[in-house]
Structure 1
Amino acid sequence: MSRTTDAHCADEDNSPAYGSTFCHCAVRHFSARRRSSPGTAEEQIVFEEACGVPHSDEEDIPISQAEPPLGPEYDRSEVPEMVWPSSKKQRIFAARVKNALVSICQEQSELHSILHMRHGLEIEEVRMAPDNLTAYVLWDAFPGPVAETAAVLQRLTPRLRRAMGARLHARHVPRLEWRHDSPSAEEAQLEATFARLAAERKEQEEEQQLRTSAAAARGGPPRGAGRS
């Protein structure tokens, strides 16, 4: 990422180019379903140009193979984190943050009781903003009201950050942005379709078993046997 882009990312909440969308478009739904397709430099440049963010011209990267520029109808809040590929330094620091959070939630009895025993919290992944000042935490929990678990996480965030500071020994303790691992509309539709097909298949198998049992009771082959 160029220096110009880093300057914009340094103050993500107040950046005139990104506004408040960076937090959402940087990480929204970066679940395992999307990790297999890392972003490219061309995609990054196309997105920056669409957002009106100037980038460095030190490297003339052709973008003829890139995706078309984002139109006004494009919802930038839905852009996955892969638009900004994580560097090795970011991945290492993200692993440290995740390990610290997991250890804190397990070792402190009150947090363990609230987050794990009551809500079934599971920290699935952590991604860092380009400046390492914000950690985006992907989490999941027991089935139930997501808003209640999210409110508990927000309430305990200051306590978690204080405990993280003692473990990370970093100059800055990153802010925690919680992202629930909820399926997208397309994924939910697919899951519903698979569930419907499984139910239909089970119903057909049960009907076949009933026909087989009835035929066995009559001493003959089941009705419909051998039909295509």
Structure 2
Amino acid sequence: MMATSPMESLSSGFIINIELFFITLLLALPLGLVITFCSMSKFKPLKWLSRTFVWIIRGTPLMLQLFVVLYAPGLLFSMPMSSRFTAAIIAFVINYAAYFSEIYRGGIESVSRGQYEAGQVLGMTKTQIFFKIILLQVIKRIIPPMSNEVITLTKDTALARIIGLAEIIMCAERFTKQGLIWPLFSTAVFFLVFNGILTLLFGWIEKKMDYFRV
């Protein structure tokens, strides 16, 4: 078996981080919205079930959730998780969907009731009011907290190493044990560059969506 160079190992590790990041966003953003609607439902059992779920997820460490997702199926149902990457995806999606749902809920509830009533006076349906009046304001208001969560997700992908997934920090640590220190510091460069790009992107989005002066 050919030895892998530090840069090749770091690059393959960072690809794992990037895959975790994008797949989590792709699945957690819409799931978070579903949880929001459930937690704001007038059907009380659904409302309290959703809020209890969010409370549990937000109140326990992501590290613990990774272990539970990886080992619980095998221990409880004799159905081992198919792969560690799948376990990481499930844990990250569940965790971030819960956080995103609270951001969505806060954004929706921050819009004054008078704007709903104004839309009704104009003869608009509830769907038209939500998509043409409320949604635009909600998106603007949630961009700053969402950007913080997205950047946090970038760094949290490093936690995948605790279940044996070879993300970038685990790859760097292997070479550190061989006496090389620069691979460990180079991981900071990967994260700084990637998060720098995200910061610029969210700054651009905020400017583009500056149609309301809240």
TM-score norm. by structure 1 comes to 0.26
Q: Which protein, 1 or 2, shows the higher relative CO under an 8 Å CA cutoff with sep ≥ 6?
A: 2
- Name the structure where helix makes up a greater proportion of residues: 2
